[in-house]
Amino acid sequence: MTFLGKIRDCAARLLSIVLLPALLLLAAIFRPREKDIAVKPADFAALLRRVADDMVDRGEWGDFEGVPLRDKRLDDIRRKALPFCGRPGIVDEKALYALATEAEALPPLIE
C-alpha cells in the first residue's frame, strides 16, 4: 500500500468513527414527529374542562395549543377554543365548557 493509500484509508476510518455517531445523533434529533394526535371526543372534552379549570401542565398546554388532532371535528373545536385560553391562567371558562359539551356530543370516529 502506498503512502497516499494509507492516508486515504486512515481518513476513511476517522470519518466513519466521527461521522457515523454524528449522523445518528442528527437522525435522532430530526426524526419525523407524529403530525397529529388521535384522541376520543370524551377525552378531549375532559382536557377542555381541565384547561377551563386551569389544571393543565406545560406539556399538556403545548400539545393542546400546537398539535393538531387526527379527528378534524375535534381539531376544529380545538382551534375555536384557542382564543378563549390565550395562556394558562387566563381563560373563558363558560366558552370552554360549552366547547367541551360540543366535543362530548360527537360520536367517536371508527378507525
Q: How far apart are CA 50 and CA 26, in angstroms?
A: 36
59-72 average pLDDT score: 83
Q: How far apart are CA 41 and CA 101, in angstroms?
A: 10
Domain boundary assignment for the chain:
1-31, 41-104
**Residue 36 near residue 67, CB atoms below 8 Å:** yes
How confident is the model at residue 67, as a pLDDT? 85
Q: What is the pLDDT of residues 16-58, one digit of tens each?
A: 776 667 767 666 666 555 577 888 999 999 989 988 888 877 7
Cβ atoms within 10 Å of 1's Cβ, excluding its own: 7
